[in-house]
Every structure is written in structure tokens, then in C-alpha cells.
Amino acid sequence: MPELPIAPITRIIRKAGAERVSEDASVELVKCLEEVGAKISKEAVDLAKHAGRKTVKKEDIQKAAERIVKA
């Protein structure tokens, strides 16, 4: 069961220019986004721990996203 709602993801695909979007396409994008989000989150947690913090900050997410997206 996906954590992210399907409807906003369908809207994102439509905003990208699609006239019609199948439910399967939206579900697949949800899966991809959740997978990437989990990787970014794990990296951000590692960065916070390395800095001696328990709190994940905005900067941790930004740095983690840069690392994961570039990889």
C-alpha cells in the first residue's frame, strides 16, 4: 500500500503535459517517488547522525537529495 496519495501524483503528471494518465502510471510514479524518497531520507538521517544530531534538518535533506539524484 503506497504512502503517497495517487490523485496529486496524477495531477503532477498532467501538469507535465499529459492529456490522460492511467492509474497504473500514477501508481508506478508513486512507487518510484517513494523509493527515491526513502533513499534520500536514509542519507539525511546518516548526515544528521554524523553531525551528532537526532533531528533531521532541511539542510540534511538538501544535501542528501543532491547526493542521491547525482548518483
Question: Which pLDDT tens digits describe the chain residue by residue (71 residues)?
Answer: 889 999 999 999 999 999 999 999 999 999 999 999 999 999 999 999 999 999 999 999 999 999 998 86
**Rounded Cα gap, residues 20 and 56, in angstroms:** 38
**Rounded Cα gap, residues 31 and 7, in angstroms:** 14
Contact 48/56 with Cβ under 8 angstroms? Answer: yes
Provide the residue ranges of all domains of the chain, joining segments of one domain with +: 6-70
Identity of the residue numbered 69: V
pTM of the model: 0.88
CATH class of 6-70: mainly alpha
